[in-house]
Structure 1
Amino acid sequence: MMSLPSAHAAASILLAILMFYGFASGRAKVETISLMTIGAIGLGLYFFPLPGSQPKDGLKLAFEGFGHYALITICALMVMGRGLVVTGALDPAARALTKLWRINHLFGLAITLALAMLLSMLVNDTPVLVLLLPIMVQLAGSGGMPASKTLMPINAALLIGGMATTIGTSTNLLVMSIAADLGMPLLSVFHFTPIVLGAALVAFPYMLFIMPRLLPDNSRQSSHTVRRFLATLRIGKDSAFVGKRLRDVDSNLPVDIKFPSGPDTPIEGNARLGISGTHASLEEALRAFDATAAPRWLIDRIRADAAKAGEDINFVEMAIALDSRLIGLTLQTAGLDHVAVIGVDQARRFQHENRECSAEAPLAEGDVLLMMGTVPNLQAFAHDDGLLMLEGAREMPRTAKALVALAIMGGSVALASFGFLPIAISALGGALLMFVTGCVKFDRVGRALSAKVIVLVAASIAIGKIILVSGAADWLGQLLAIGLQYLPAAGVLAAIMLFNTVLTNFASNATAAAVGTPIAFSLGHKLGLPVEPLVLAVLFGCNLCYATPVAYQTNMLIMAEGDYKFGDYIRTGVPLVVLMIVTLSGLLVWKYGL
């Protein structure tokens, strides 16, 4: 008869359940629950130490997550991702994907999911996500689906692709190495790829059609109307569009761009065209036309000011106050020197107001100006000329550093993907190079990091460690073995997958692999089943980490960008877990003739 768990094991299981309930209920912030979990482990082990340990050992276990290589890796990857964004290094890739998404959002998402799945079969999941994450965020801002509706399906596709080969994830390598130590022959890289691809075909429609519908729209623009700015497009004489009509270039522009002059207007060199659109759309139009929205000499002066002062160029919205000197003036007569107005959102207060809808019209109280300049110059302009700076300032990409950022990211990914360096070392080195080369400024690093993710990672590492060292994982494995002797082969495989899925979603992949692989060997001998499909069930279960943010580091990387809550992972991840377990179990039974 099986014995009861030890007091420490029982307490660990109870704490894991309470932590999960706290996250799932949403009654307290993730940071609060994470810190309470760490505190409970530290205090509990201080007053009730594990057998053979000292009170200070418990404190070390509770807080070691803050210095764990997994947390360092995640933070370093966030910094590198920030470097790609602020340098505009991924703008070309984002524009290429944008063209696909303009054909159809579902088509664009389908291509992105397939690309993510294929890449992660040979490249570690985390670097692939780091490459795709800023692209999807930029894409959301330029008319694609909200990032909160795409990042979760893309992450799931990465995880499915990652479990398709023996080298897809570090967890796969760990399971295979443990199995080899226990006597199972090593499997080739693509040995079980057809099984995973079969399950992927079943899961693909769910990720494409259903997951986005189950996720909220957490984009910042969902809560308010996006401003449309009037601007003047200054076309250069060498523009590729000179000699064409506006209707001929519509396919190259964002869908919300409007030209008051009409689609038949010819495009001439050195022309000034009226245009309207959102900030992101105006930037895309300016890039497409190789044009500016302010005099070129003024743009050049702003760039020179930024280079001389070592400052970034920012875009910021400013509202014209009642006492502003700009009221009644036009942009041409305003005497702007070290700042530029990119667009004007006119305040229409009276029905009878007949002011021309143009960036060239006189300015009025309440107009919102889209300004460009360095922060000190923008602040001085607002103070001197009676304007109110609104929230939402955005840095202009430092495109001169784009190739440097790409080289750093590419080098870090390559070193980790081909096994020359652990991902933690290559990511940390890449983050340091981002600072040294100026791709990311050290005083702006806080914008790249998420406090919520940091404490969540630390708490998940602590809870996984206490489940392992307290004997809770071993006790759960023994309990599983007792009940499986009465199930058919498909049920045994499904139960093993489910057991490892629970461990990987609430403890860690390494814990699931370390506990589950020996159990698979033991069950194979006791039940008279071949070991290989049971080990593959362990491997698959360790990769079905969709249901919680603590299950895998890519889950936590998307949490901040998608502004996800714990319940979002449960709502979309649990159905996918069930679908994959049923499909993979059936395919394993068919493949091995069980």
Structure 2
Amino acid sequence: MILPGFHAASAMLIALAMFYGFFNGKLRVEIVSLLTIAAIALLLYVMPMPGETKYAGLELAFQGFGHYALVTICALMIMGRGLVVTGALDPAARALARVWQFNKSLGLLFTLVVCLFMSMLINDTPVLVLMIPILAQMATRGGMPASKTLMPVNAAILIGGMSTTIGTSTNLLVVSIAQDLGMRTLSVFHFTPIVLISVLVALPYLWLVMPRLLPDNTKQVSVESRRFLAKLRLSDDAPMRGKTIEEARGNLPEDVRAWLPPGNRSHVGRRLLAEGTYKGLQEAARTLSATLAPRWLTERIKADSTRSREDLMVAEMILAPDCRLIGLTPSTAGFEGVAMLGIHHVHQPLRDTRAHTPDTAMAEGDVLLMMGMPEDLRAFAQAEGLLQIEGGEEITRSGKALLAVAIMLGSVGLASFGLVPIAISALAGAILMFVTGCVRFERVGRALSAKIIVLVASSIALGRFILVSGAAEWLGQILSSGLQYLPPAGVLAAIMVFVTLMTNFASNTAAAAVGTPIAFNIAKQLGMPEEPLVLAVLFGCNLCYATPVAYQTNMMILTEGDYTFKDYLRSGVPLVLIMVAALSTTLVFWYGI
């Protein structure tokens, strides 16, 4: 057997070091990625490739930062952020909640299908971020335990992301590397039918079997959300004006309790008192055409936000012992520049004689739910002696929700019909998100992930180094010598399993960088078309269900579901095997090989 050359061996050693760094976890992903780029740059500067100058190595090492695939990924993250901050995904969340209330089993099936299709066009992470509180809330209302639903839903999101070229950054990386190697350009939905056929096999497992393999960790993860007292101010044309309190209650979320203010004993007027979580009160206000703060104050704060181009935030604040507001009522406190949406009364045994209403005097330890611009909230807390709780939530700019959806659909549509490359349409969509105010340019840092940027850039550099150094050709010869005795479905399955192992124990982007050029060379060695083998790599990079470290969404549900490593293996390995068998078989029939 011919041994690899110096640069080919170095490329494989750097790839192994990168995998080990990801798997070991002692260094951050960003650090491992930057070290990979530095190692390639230093090696090729000190010992250039034959016929190349030392500066050619620097260009190879850093070309990922200017690669069109990275530009496309960043643009898609910006558009995904636009859908989140405008609340464009909220209607889907409300529809899911209604189905879950009707039937648990159908609710799970509907959720799996909706998430699968949403993640075709939207990055996996925001879709899961949207679903986690919904599934947790459904569990508290008597639905299936969150620990039995989070992992199947996460898997459905990953499968949906696998089905289009823009579904995940890894897909774009594989396709871009393959195009650099000479493969034709693939449209957005080029391989979607292949994945959807495989979904028909995997969906029954996700729906009926996977939840049974997972534990019920309800006691471990259930946390009671803080409940606030609030005053709902109904508009003049609100449909509930003049109705009975029973009729109004029938239109409220289950976790919101409402009653009439003192002196009003018959029908709903301009005010309605309520108690519930912030999410529940938000939904109640939307349903009743009401506001949680005086309408004039809300409109003024929103106008100031629009004028200053600052996002509005909702934050919780605790009344400290020296707080000026102690003993005052919300109506006499004289809030300026901020609005109180609700108040949580601290329990005071033996001496709490306050009325259960948002209009009563405030006491030490009470928690206020405040809305305003970040700087105004900080100034208010400091001036009044309040302790602002870490975190906070941005208020969605719902007036731009349809605009954000239109921009996303237009961008994807242009690329889907082949009118312009996805890199151009995605960049145009991101620019429109900025121009229209769906995403604030000064807040773009919240849309972009530095980890993904350096990870993709290092993967592009590593993939290129593996190719030009001859490492891909050498590995392709080694693998093809064993794969030549297998049928086409076996070859595709073997490549998929090889990449899947790298994905689940290292990084899917690194697996894409290594696997794509290897697949190209195996195709040449075996005389097979490149496209199905490249798709086998792409699919394998997305079969990341078996370990918590395989993908960032796996890590997000680890704490929420109180899962163990064994839970991922027990439920994820069968799904990997099902998808490998279904995808490899479908690829054979689809391409007629």
Q: Is TM-score (shorter-chain normalized) higher than 0.5?
A: yes
Given that 1:179 and 1:535 are in contact with CA atoms closer than 8 Å, whether structure 2 keeps it comes out as no
- Please give the secondary structure, in 1, of the residue aligned with 2:291: coil
- Please give the secondary structure, in 2, of the residue aligned with 1:232: strand
What residue is the counterpart of 1:516 in the other structure? Answer: 519
- 1:157 corresponds to 2:134: no
After superposition, give the CA deviation of every residue in 1:203-229 in whole Å (9 maximum; x if it has no partner): 224444677899999xxx969753221
What residue is the counterpart of 2:280 in the other structure? Answer: 281
**CA–CA distance in structure 2, aligned partners of residues 177 and 11 of structure 1:** 22
What residue is the counterpart of 1:404 in the other structure? Answer: 403
Deviates further, 207-216 or 376-385: 207-216
Q: What is the correspondence of 1:324-473 to structure 2 with a 5 Å cutoff?
A: 324-473=323-472
- CA distance 1:176–1:29, shift in 2 (3 Å): closer
- Aligned identity (percent) is 48
Query: Offset at 1:489?
Result: 6.4
Query: Offset at 1:413?
Result: 1.5
**CA–CA distance in structure 2, aligned partners of residues 267 and 455 of structure 1:** 63
What residue is the counterpart of 1:140 in the other structure? Answer: 132
- Please give the secondary structure, in 2, of the residue aligned with 1:318: strand
Query: Offset at 1:544?
Result: 2.4
- Please give the secondary structure, in 2, of the residue aligned with 1:410: helix
**CA–CA distance in structure 1, aligned partners of residues 488 and 78 of structure 2:** 46
Given that 1:38 and 1:62 are in contact with CA atoms closer than 8 Å, whether structure 2 keeps it comes out as yes
Query: Offset at 1:248?
Result: 5.0
Query: Offset at 1:97?
Result: 3.3
What residue is the counterpart of 1:129 in the other structure? Answer: 122
Deviates further, 291-300 or 341-350: 291-300
Q: Which amino acid aligns with 1:468?
A: L
What residue is the counterpart of 2:143 in the other structure? Answer: none
What residue is the counterpart of 2:475 in the other structure? Answer: 476
TM-score (norm 2): 0.79
Query: Offset at 1:3?
Result: 0.9
What residue is the counterpart of 1:74 in the other structure? Answer: 73
**CA–CA distance in structure 2, aligned partners of residues 376 and 175 of structure 1:** 48
What residue is the counterpart of 1:88 in the other structure? Answer: 87
**CA–CA distance in structure 1, aligned partners of residues 375 and 525 of structure 2:** 68
After superposition, give the CA deviation of every residue in 1:376-397 in whole Å (9 maximum; x if it has no partner): 4434433333222222232322
- Please give the secondary structure, in 1, of the residue aligned with 2:364: coil
Query: Offset at 1:246?
Result: 5.4
Given that 1:408 and 1:433 are in contact with CA atoms closer than 8 Å, whether structure 2 keeps it comes out as yes
After superposition, give the CA deviation of every residue in 1:37-64 in whole Å (9 maximum; x if it has no partner): 1122111222222222222222222222
Query: Offset at 1:289?
Result: 1.0
After superposition, give the CA deviation of every residue in 1:181-209 in whole Å (9 maximum; x if it has no partner): 9xxxx9xx99995x755532332244446
- CA distance 1:51–1:138, shift in 2 (3 Å): same
Query: Offset at 1:179?
Result: 11
**CA–CA distance in structure 1, aligned partners of residues 60 and 269 of structure 2:** 68
What residue is the counterpart of 1:552 in the other structure? Answer: none
After superposition, give the CA deviation of every residue in 1:303-325 in whole Å (9 maximum; x if it has no partner): 34434544433222222122222
**CA–CA distance in structure 2, aligned partners of residues 441 and 520 of structure 1:** 46
**CA–CA distance in structure 1, aligned partners of residues 351 and 333 of structure 2:** 26
What residue is the counterpart of 2:31 in the other structure? Answer: 32
Deviates further, 138-147 or 480-489: 138-147
Query: Offset at 1:582?
Result: 3.1
After superposition, give the CA deviation of every residue in 1:333-353 in whole Å (9 maximum; x if it has no partner): 223344221111111243442
Q: What is the correspondence of 1:190-229 to structure 2 with a 5 Å cutoff?
A: 193=193, 197=196, 199-208=198-207, 226-229=225-228
- CA distance 1:141–1:192, shift in 2 (3 Å): closer
The runs of 5 or more residues in structure 1 that have no matched partner are 164-168, 525-530, 550-554
- CA distance 1:209–1:364, shift in 2 (3 Å): farther
Given that 1:129 and 1:155 are in contact with CA atoms closer than 8 Å, whether structure 2 keeps it comes out as no
Given that 1:129 and 1:158 are in contact with CA atoms closer than 8 Å, whether structure 2 keeps it comes out as no
Q: Which amino acid aligns with 1:519?
A: I
- Please give the secondary structure, in 2, of the residue aligned with 1:275: strand
- Please give the secondary structure, in 2, of the residue aligned with 1:544: helix
**CA–CA distance in structure 2, aligned partners of residues 39 and 393 of structure 1:** 38
- CA distance 1:573–1:61, shift in 2 (3 Å): farther
**CA–CA distance in structure 2, aligned partners of residues 451 and 593 of structure 1:** 41
Query: Offset at 1:283?
Result: 0.8
Given that 2:183 and 2:531 are in contact with CA atoms closer than 8 Å, whether structure 1 keeps it comes out as no
- Please give the secondary structure, in 1, of the residue aligned with 2:369: strand
Given that 2:11 and 2:469 are in contact with CA atoms closer than 8 Å, whether structure 1 keeps it comes out as yes
- Please give the secondary structure, in 2, of the residue aligned with 1:329: coil
Given that 2:343 and 2:369 are in contact with CA atoms closer than 8 Å, whether structure 1 keeps it comes out as yes
Given that 2:509 and 2:541 are in contact with CA atoms closer than 8 Å, whether structure 1 keeps it comes out as no
Query: Offset at 1:479?
Result: 0.9
Given that 1:94 and 1:136 are in contact with CA atoms closer than 8 Å, whether structure 2 keeps it comes out as no
Given that 2:118 and 2:127 are in contact with CA atoms closer than 8 Å, whether structure 1 keeps it comes out as no
Deviates further, 39-48 or 478-487: 478-487
Give the number of equivalent residue pairs. Answer: 556
- Please give the secondary structure, in 1, of the residue aligned with 2:541: coil
Query: Offset at 1:485?
Result: 4.2
**CA–CA distance in structure 1, aligned partners of residues 93 and 133 of structure 2:** 11
**CA–CA distance in structure 1, aligned partners of residues 236 and 464 of structure 2:** 66
Q: Which amino acid aligns with 2:279?
A: A
What residue is the counterpart of 2:97 in the other structure? Answer: 98
- Please give the secondary structure, in 2, of the residue aligned with 1:129: coil
- CA distance 1:213–1:228, shift in 2 (3 Å): farther
- 1:306 corresponds to 2:305: yes
Deviates further, 204-213 or 341-350: 204-213
**CA–CA distance in structure 2, aligned partners of residues 444 and 211 of structure 1:** 39
Given that 1:235 and 1:268 are in contact with CA atoms closer than 8 Å, whether structure 2 keeps it comes out as no
Given that 2:243 and 2:268 are in contact with CA atoms closer than 8 Å, whether structure 1 keeps it comes out as no
**CA–CA distance in structure 2, aligned partners of residues 69 and 89 of structure 1:** 28
**CA–CA distance in structure 2, aligned partners of residues 86 and 593 of structure 1:** 45
Given that 2:132 and 2:150 are in contact with CA atoms closer than 8 Å, whether structure 1 keeps it comes out as no
Q: Which amino acid aligns with 2:130?
A: Q
Q: Which amino acid aligns with 1:545?
A: C
Given that 1:490 and 1:585 are in contact with CA atoms closer than 8 Å, whether structure 2 keeps it comes out as yes
Q: Which amino acid aligns with 1:278?
A: T
- Please give the secondary structure, in 2, of the residue aligned with 1:545: helix
- Please give the secondary structure, in 2, of the residue aligned with 1:319: strand
What residue is the counterpart of 2:141 in the other structure? Answer: none
- Please give the secondary structure, in 1, of the residue aligned with 2:257: coil
Query: Offset at 1:290?
Result: 0.9
**CA–CA distance in structure 2, aligned partners of residues 496 and 332 of structure 1:** 68
